[in-house]
Amino acid sequence: MKVLVVGTGGRDHSIAWKFARSPRVKTVYVAHGNAGIAETATCVNLRTIEEMAAFAEREKIDLTFVGPEKPLSAGIVDLFESRGLSIIGPSLKASRLESSKCDAKVIMRDLGIPVPEFENFSDPDKARDYVRGVGYPVVVKADGLAAGKGALVCESVQDAEDAIRTIMEDRAFGDAGERVDIERRLYGRELSFFCFTDGYTVVPMVAAQDYKRARENDEGKNTGGMGSYSPHPWLNDSLVGTIMNRVAEPLIAGVREKHGILYRGILYLGLMLVEEGDGVTPYVLEINIRLGDPEAQVILPRLRTDLVDVSEAILQGTLARLQPEWDPRYRLCLIATSGRTKGKKGWFKGYPERYKIGLPIEGVDDIDKDCLVFHSGTERDGSGRLLTTGGRVLCVVSSGDTLAEARQTALLEMEKIHFEGLYYRKDIGLA
| Arithmetic mean of pLDDT, 36-52 | 97
- CA-CA distance, 201 to 374, in Å (whole number)? 31
Return the percent helix, strand and coil in the chain, to nearest 5.
35, 30, 35
| Arithmetic mean of pLDDT, 358-371 | 97
Q: b/e per residue, 291-316, with b = 16+ CB within 10 A?
A: bbbbbbbbbbbbbeebbbebbbbbbe
Residue 146 pLDDT: 87
| Arithmetic mean of pLDDT, 89-110 | 97
Please report, for the chain, the start and end positions of each structural domain, with discontinuous segments joined by +.
2-89, 118-184, 187-321, 330-423
pTM of the model: 0.94
Q: b/e per residue, 256-288, with b = 16+ CB within 10 A?
A: eeeeebbbbbbbbbbbbbbeeeeebbbbbbbbb
User: Strand (E) positions, 296-391?
Assistant: 330-338, 341-343, 346-348, 372-375, 378-380, 386-388
| Arithmetic mean of pLDDT, 358-370 | 97
Residue 158 pLDDT: 96
Task: State whether CATH 3.30.70.330 applies to domain 330-423.
Answer: no
Q: Do residues 335 and 375 lie in contact, with contact meaning Cβ atoms separated by under 8 Å?
A: no
Residue 413 pLDDT: 98
Share of the chain above pLDDT 90, in %: 95
Does pLDDT of 302 surpass 70?
yes
User: What is the amino acid identity at position 254?
Assistant: G
- CA-CA distance, 156 to 158, in Å (whole number)? 5
pLDDT by residue (tens digit) across 317-349? 999 999 999 999 999 999 999 999 998 888 999
User: What is the amino acid identity at position 331?
Assistant: R
Domain 2-89 and domain 118-184 have a common topology: no
Measured in whole angstroms, how far is the alpha carbon of residue 389 from the centre of its chain?
Answer: 19
Q: Do residues 195 and 205 lie in contact, with contact meaning Cβ atoms separated by under 8 Å?
A: yes
Does pLDDT of 135 surpass 90?
no
- The strands making up 118-121's β-sheet, listed across from edge to edge, are 118-121, 180-184, 138-142, 151-153
Residue 431: pLDDT band with limits 50, 70, 90: low
Residue 297 main-chain phi, psi, to 5 deg: -70, -20
| Arithmetic mean of pLDDT, 405-425 | 98
Topology of domain 2-89, per CATH? Answer: Rossmann fold (3.40.50)
CATH class of 118-184: alpha beta
CATH class of 187-321: alpha beta
Residue 149 pLDDT: 78
Residue 69 pLDDT: 95
pLDDT by residue (tens digit) across 162-208? 999 999 999 999 999 999 999 999 999 999 999 999 999 999 999 99
Average pLDDT of the chain? Answer: 96
| Arithmetic mean of pLDDT, 282-304 | 97
